[in-house]
Amino acid sequence: MRLSDRVALVTGGGRGIGAAVARSLASEGARVAVASRTLTEIDEVASELTRTGSQAVAVQCDVGRPEEIASAVAHVSEELGRVDILINNAGIASSASLSSQSLQEWERIFRVNVTGTFLCTQACLPGMLERGWGRVVNVASVAALGGAKYISAYSASKHAVLGFTRCVALEAASRGVTVNSVCPGYVDTDLTRASVARIMEKTGMNEGQAVQVLCKTNPQNRLLTSEEVAHAVLVLCLPESAGINGQALVLDGGGFVG
């Protein structure tokens, strides 16, 4: 129970990686606020945590909207005391060639992935700095470290998350707060299932073949599980990880060549 006196806010905590992160932080004793736009999903995760003996709340919030973030953080502080650990996990993806990339979709992706990470961090960091302890983990991607065809908006947004991570890590370095990123390859979640559907639609492949295209990007020839990503996030949040700051922890089975 290495996080028993800590309060965590997990954005995008209603399903996929975020739900696994919420479970994993709770398993170390953290009180957890689970945030996203879909109330039924965050209610379900928070109820599950409560049933299994943790203190948890669901907080409906769109990370692209500053006023919703402010009221979400205020609500978490009222219910659970404060925010010591922020996991910026909420994220969206889509694919398009550059010539067909719309400005509207570009801005939608940046609003959630980049601006959402900025706004949530700006709302939670001052309290962490005042108290002299905090952890921020940004869920970036291997797309933060290199390029691939048809994901310029997503990849640029995740590069931005990584740059943001490194800068804020330096601002917080002397104050007991660490700021890191995790960079997973393809994970078996709804987001990846949407990518599989797009590959099937564009290429005529069947589902198995489309999944295999994504598996091949990992030398272990598989998709990661949400629990594996959650484990990496948990490690960065532990008290013993105080010296790890401004890093990008890559989970891709050994595939990234930087």
Which residues are designated catalytic?
Answer: 154
Q: Compute the least distance from the CB of residue 132 to ligand NDP, in Å.
A: 28
> Nearer Cβ to ligand NDP, position 62 or 84?
62
Q: Which residues of 105-134 are buried (b: 16+ CB within 10 A; e: fewer)?
A: ebeebbbbbbbbbbbbbebbbebbbeeebb
| CA dist., res. 67 & res. 172, Å (int) | 24
Nearest to 233 by CA among 137, 135, 113: 137
Structure letter (DSSP) for residue 111: I
Question: In this chain, which residue has its C-beta nearest to ligand NDP?
Answer: 91
| CA dist., res. 107 & res. 113, Å (int) | 10
Which distant-in-sequence residues (6+ apart) come within 8 Å of 231 by Cβ?
24
Is 15 a binding residue for ligand NDP by CB under 6 A? The answer is yes
Q: Which of 32, 46, 90, 153 binds ligand NDP (CB under 6 A)?
A: 90
Q: Compute the least distance from the CB of residue 114 to ligand NDP, in Å.
A: 11
β-pairing verdict for 56-60 and 31-36: parallel
Is 14 a binding residue for ligand NDP by CB under 6 A? The answer is yes
Q: Compute the least distance from the CB of residue 131 to ligand NDP, in Å.
A: 25
Residue with tokens 């706004």: 119
Footprint (CB under 6 A) of ligand NDP, residues 117-156 = 139, 141
| CA dist., res. 135 & res. 8, Å (int) | 9
> Nearer Cβ to ligand NDP, position 79 or 228?
228
> Nearer Cβ to ligand NDP, position 89 or 245?
89
Q: Which of 70, 191, 238, 244 binds ligand NDP (CB under 6 A)?
A: 191
3-state DSSP percent of the chain in helix, strand and coil, to 5: 55, 15, 30
Is 75 a binding residue for ligand NDP by CB under 6 A? The answer is no
Cβ contact 53:79 at 8 Å: no
Q: Which of 8, 16, 57, 172 binds ligand NDP (CB under 6 A)?
A: 16
Q: Compute the least distance from the CB of residue 197 to ligand NDP, in Å.
A: 13
Site string for ligand NDP, 20-49 (x = CB under 6 A): ----------------xxx--x--------
> Nearer Cβ to ligand NDP, position 89 or 178?
89
Cβ contact 29:55 at 8 Å: no
> Nearer Cβ to ligand NDP, position 125 or 183?
183
Q: Enumerate binding residues for ligand NDP (CB under 6 A).
A: 11-12, 14-18, 36-38, 41, 61-64, 89-93, 112, 139, 141, 184, 186-187, 189-192
